[in-house]
């Protein structure tokens, strides 16, 4: 075992500088002085999942565990804003909708089922009467609308800028364009070999998105490979409403609108962030294509959001040219890397991770440097993928059908 000057040993080395890695560094650097981030590309690269304009935050999950964690994450976002003095949340609310001509069984829609889940855990939503829907949102044609006012959009540029500035102020070392070749155990420490030299750390966190399996394969003694696959929205469009209608579509009056049974979500105009309504269409792999009558965004506009038909539209090309990281069993992968003491991993956010970022960063920091987390994250244990016989294939019949949640 090599002897190192304690000044040269990092408390925590994070591989992957997306939002999860940066939030892990944010929490760790509040109390630990030697924190390093290694990023293969550049922080803020628009081709990675963490960068773009807006991501929705909400807590309407079919699974109460995710709903509770999302709720905690909202508290942590608010603390982040308070601590940094920067506003990063657009508090416009999120409204799930349904229409009986599109999904005839209204009581089985995502909107109704998640409302039931939230009500059962004491997070009631505002249920709008049909008359109220037409009055408040004249551009919509929906029979059911459930609004959560404690939800909305995250301003990604503001988050990245604030994280980078805060980490800089706390003297966190962020190394960009670094390629990692090996992680070698040396006594209680890890030697991380890169093309920018060797780093020594007592704890390592891997938040490398789709690069995670490559990093895992470079860890001495580790056989874990996480079954993640890539997917992305089938279609995403910007709609610019005519000037006389614009005021109806801004985030002070329009919430995020989601019709997840059809795979569609709509983000309002956010002045200073995005000057168009964004509509994303995601075709969940396990949902029969004939399950709803909505085939694409044009169809959605015609049937559900006719007010947008007079808007000019164009494809979203400036952002979101990146992929979701779907997991075979549709659960987060968060915890210790088997066979590699002191190494933790966080990946597999199923297209729904951004809203959880301050919470995930906190959990990874606690696991890495505090010997455990206050949360029960045992169901996310990466070790579930250690035995090859237990591997599931994304899209197989064994795959739990919470794919509807794998957006936003
Ligand atoms: C189109 C789209 C829309 C989405 N919408 C929403 C939404 O509305 N709400 C929501 O909550 N979530 C949403 N998500 C999900 C969310 O954006 C992601 O879950 C989240 O950004 C993942 O962050 P990450 O840090 O894990 O991954 P990434 O952003 O991919 O970051 C991983 C980083 O690791 C780096 N890396 C890879 N390999 C290495 C290596 N060997 N060494 C060093 N660095 C490495 C990469 O360059 C990258 O910078 C969406 C995702 C997509 C793609």
Q: Is pLDDT larger for residue 219 or for residue 403?
A: 219
C-alpha 318 to ligand 1 mean position (Å): 16
C-alpha 152 to ligand 1 mean position (Å): 19
Q: Specify the pLDDT at position 398.
A: 34
Distance, C-alpha 253 to centroid of its chain: 24
Q: Specify the pLDDT at position 317.
A: 82
Atom of ligand 1 nearest to the CA of 355: 11
Q: What is the mean pLDDT of residues 106-135?
A: 94
How many Cα atoms sit within 13 Å of 69 on the Cβ side? Answer: 24
pLDDT tens-digit readout, 147-199? 999 999 999 999 999 999 999 999 999 999 999 999 999 999 999 999 999 99
Distance, C-alpha 381 to centroid of its chain: 18
Average pLDDT for the chain: 91
C-alpha 22 to ligand 1 mean position (Å): 11
Q: What is the residue extent of each domain of the chain?
A: 6-50+157-229+325-405, 94-149+233-319
Q: Specify the pLDDT at position 223.
A: 93
Is the pLDDT at 388 greater than 70? The verdict is no
Mutation pick for ligand 1 pocket among 183, 193, 209 (CB with most ligand atoms within 8 Å): 209
C-alpha 17 to ligand 1 mean position (Å): 9
pLDDT tens-digit readout, 203-220? 999 999 999 999 999 999
Q: How far apart are CA 354 and CA 154, in angstroms?
A: 8
To the nearest whole percent, how much of the chain has pLDDT over 90?
79
Q: What is the mean pLDDT of residues 267-295?
A: 81
C-alpha 18 to ligand 1 mean position (Å): 6
Residue 282 near ligand 1, beta carbon < 6 Å: no
Q: What is the mean pLDDT of residues 326-352?
A: 94
392 φ/ψ angles, rounded to the nearest 5 degrees: -115, 155
3-state helix, strand, coil in the chain (%, to 5): 30, 25, 45
The CATH number of the structural domain formed by 94-149+233-319 is 3.30.9.10
Mutation pick for ligand 1 pocket among 195, 344, 353 (CB with most ligand atoms within 8 Å): 353
Residue 49 near ligand 1, beta carbon < 6 Å: yes
Determine which of 63-67, 298-302, 358-362, 400-404 has the lowest per-residue pLDDT on average: 400-404
Q: Say which CATH topology domain 6-50+157-229+325-405 has.
A: FAD/NAD(P)-binding domain (3.50.50)
């Amino acid at each position: 075992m090599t002897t190192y000057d304690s000044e040269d040993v990092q408390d925590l080395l994070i591989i992957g500088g997306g939002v999860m890695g940066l939030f892990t560094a944010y929490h760790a650097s509040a109390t630990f002085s030697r924190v390093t981030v290694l990023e293969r590309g550049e922080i803020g690269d628009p081709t990675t999942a963490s960068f773009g304009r807006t991501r929705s935050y909400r807590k309407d999950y079919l699974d109460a565990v995710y709903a509770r964690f999302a709720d905690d994450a909202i508290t942590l976002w608010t603390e982040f804003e308070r601590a940094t003095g920067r506003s990063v949340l657009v508090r416009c609310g999120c409204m799930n909708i349904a229409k009986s001509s599109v999904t005839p069984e209204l009581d089985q829609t995502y909107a109704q089922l998640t409302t039931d889940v939230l009500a059962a855990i004491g997070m009631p939503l505002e249920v709008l009467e049909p008359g109220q829907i037409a009055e408040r949102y004249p551009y919509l044609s929906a029979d059911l609308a459930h609004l959560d006012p404690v939800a909305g959009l995250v301003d990604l540029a503001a988050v990245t800028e604030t994280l980078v500035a805060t980490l800089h102020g706390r003297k966190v070392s962020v190394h960009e364009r670094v390629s990692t070749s090996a992680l070698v155990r040396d006594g209680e420490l890890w030697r991380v070999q890169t093309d920018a030299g060797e780093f020594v750390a007592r704890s390592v966190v891997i938040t490398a998105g789709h690069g995670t399996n490559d990093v895992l394969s470079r860890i001495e003694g580790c056989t874990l490979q996480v079954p993640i696959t890539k997917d992305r929205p089938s279609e995403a469009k910007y709609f610019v409403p005519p000037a006389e209608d614009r005021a109806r579509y801004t985030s002070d009056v329009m919430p995020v609108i989601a019709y997840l049974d059809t795979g569609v979500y709509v983000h309002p105009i956010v002045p200073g962030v995005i000057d168009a309504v964004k509509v994303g269409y995601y075709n969940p792999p396990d949902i029969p294509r004939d399950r709803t009558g909505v085939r694409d965004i044009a169809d959605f506009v015609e049937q559900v959001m006719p007010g947008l038909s007079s808007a000019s539209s164009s494809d979203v090309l400036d952002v979101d040219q990146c992929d979701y990281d779907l997991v075979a069993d549709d659960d987060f992968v968060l915890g210790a890397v088997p066979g590699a003491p002191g190494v933790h991993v966080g990946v597999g956010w199923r297209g729904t991770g951004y809203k959880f970022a301050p919470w995930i960063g906190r959990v990874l920091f606690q696991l890495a440097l505090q010997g455990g987390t206050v949360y029960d994250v045992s169901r996310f244990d990466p070790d579930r993928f250690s035995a090859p016989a237990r591997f599931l294939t994304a899209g197989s019949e064994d795959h739990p059908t919470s794919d509807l949640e794998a957006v936003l």
